[in-house]
Each structure stands twice: as C-alpha cells, then as structure tokens.
C-alpha cells in the first residue's frame, strides 16, 4: 500500500507541472471506492491551483474553488504526461488538461477521487477528520506522543499504525522507526516512557525523511508520476529481513504478526 512517503513522492513528481493547467475533459472508468460526487463535465474549464497532501490523501485544488481529494488505495498510482495511451482495464480516472493528463491506475479499485467544496468542508472534512499530526509538524514531539499513548494498552506498533496519533508511520516505516529507537514493537503503548517517546518521535521523522530522499518504497508496483520506483526497501534494517543478521548486533531478525500485519524486529537491539 502506498504510504505517506510514496504519496508525497508522487505529489512532488507532478505538482509543479500541473499547476495552472485548465481541465479539458474527464474520463471515468470502473467505479472506485467512493463516487466522484459531481457531474464530470462540471470540472471542464477549471484551472488547477495547487496540489497538497494531508496524510495519504492528495488535494488537487482549483482556482475557482473546491478540489479533488485523491487516495491511492492499496495499489494505485498516478501518472501525469501528455503522451498517455488509451486507458487500460485498470485505469479508472483521467483528468485531461492543457498541460497533460493525470491518470489514476488502480488494479484493486480501493483508491478514490472525490470532489469537495473545500478541505475543511464536505466529504474532505469527513474523510480527514480522524487523522493525527503530520510527522514533520512542529507539534509532533515526544511529549505529544507520550501524552497520546497514555491509557493505550495496544502494542506500540499497532498504535503507530492507527494513524490517529501521527500519520505516515505505515508498516514498513513503523518497523524501521521502532528499530532505530530500540523499542520492541510488542511493548504496550502506555508503558512507553517520556525519554523513549522522544527517541521514537525522532526516529519516525528520521525514517520518513530517509524514505522521501530514496523515493519511497517499491515492494510490488509503486511508481511516481514519472514512472520511477522507490528504493527505501533496499536500505531497510529489519523490514523483510526475517532470519538475516541484524546490521547492528548480528542477531537473526524475527518476524511476527500483529493485527494481521507482518512485524520485523531485532530481539536483542529492541527492548520492551
């Protein structure tokens, strides 16, 4: 599933190029997770103002007001070019503009493109309401993390994945951040001390920053809007390395399942 780094890498790969483009047509394929929410023809003539991100959602704003909230789902990707072929069976949304066509390809159709009058109104406000802090926001500190975990008895990794404390710490990045902070992923959230919360907050930011530098992670089919794959997975310390030696101590990396998601960790370097 594309996580925050992959979504941000996608945004950066086309946001500048599409800015100022005027919509000339909209083509819908098979239904996605939610309906578009307006007549596609109503978008023709609108000018793209900016493309921003909130969590794993992209917001394509129009100068005339309103915009499109986009989600890549489990396996979606966006491409932006002026030379796209005819839509295939997995291409479900084309936004044709004077500067090129933005296409959403999504084999599983868990992605979405939804019209909203504003980010803080309509469908967008409802979909974004439960999101936690952005990991690079000044407010995301060890103190915030420690306070948010108070009373949570679920394992710390599951608390990170929930997305209501901080967004962006998906499965790969939660495993890697917990390794960097030296914290066992099975530790109950409410038992995380303030000093360890500080280390974990810094590790989450550091892990996601490295992922952005490396273009995100490509485990199966992620590509940015240029068609480029990510490389973070090639530099992972624990994720996907079950049975291999820890880069720090040489102990074999363990794999367990938490909440139906695979967790990788070093049983020596990461303490409860």
| Active-site residue set | 2-3, 56, 261
**For residue 121, what are the β-bridge partners?**
118
Cα torsion angle, 89, 128, 225, 49, sign: positive
Question: What are the C-alpha distances in Å from 161 to residues 23, 169, 172, 259, 261?
Answer: 36, 6, 10, 10, 10
How far is Cα 6 from Cα 212, in angstroms, rounded to an integer? 8
How far is Cα 165 from Cα 97, in angstroms, rounded to an integer? 37
- CA torsion 104→218→119→209, rounded to 10°? -150
């Amino acid at each position: 599933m594309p996580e925050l780094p992959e979504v941000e890498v996608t945004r950066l790969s086309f946001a500048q190029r599409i800015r100022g483009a005027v919509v000339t047509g909209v083509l819908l394929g098979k239904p996605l997770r939610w309906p578009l929410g307006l007549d596609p023809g109503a978008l023709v003539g609108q000018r793209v103002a900016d493309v921003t991100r909130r969590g794993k959602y992209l917001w394509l704003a129009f100068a005339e007001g309103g915009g499109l909230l986009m989600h890549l789902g489990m396996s979606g990707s966006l491409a932006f070019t002026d030379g796209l072929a005819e839509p295939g069976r997995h291409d479900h949304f084309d936004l044709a503009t004077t500067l090129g066509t933005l296409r959403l390809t999504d084999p599983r159709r868990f992605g979405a493109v939804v019209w909203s009058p504003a980010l803080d109104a309509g469908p967008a406000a409802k979909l974004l309401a439960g999101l936690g802090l952005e990991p690079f926001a000044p407010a995301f500190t060890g103190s915030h993390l420690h306070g948010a975990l108070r009373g949570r008895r679920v394992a710390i990794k599951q608390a990170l994945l929930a997305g209501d404390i901080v967004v962006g710490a998906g499965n790969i990045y939660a495993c890697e951040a917990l390794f960097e902070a030296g914290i066992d992923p099975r530790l109950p959230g409410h038992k995380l001390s303030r000093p360890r919360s500080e280390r974990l907050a810094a590790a989450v930011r550091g892990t996601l920053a490295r992922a952005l530098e490396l273009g995100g992670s490509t485990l199966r089919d992620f590509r940015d809007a240029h068609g480029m794959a990510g490389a973070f997975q090639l530099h992972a310390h624990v994720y996907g390395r079950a049975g291999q030696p820890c880069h720090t101590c040489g102990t074999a990396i363990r794999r367990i399942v938490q909440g139906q998601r695979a967790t990788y960790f070093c049983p020596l370097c990461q303490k409860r």
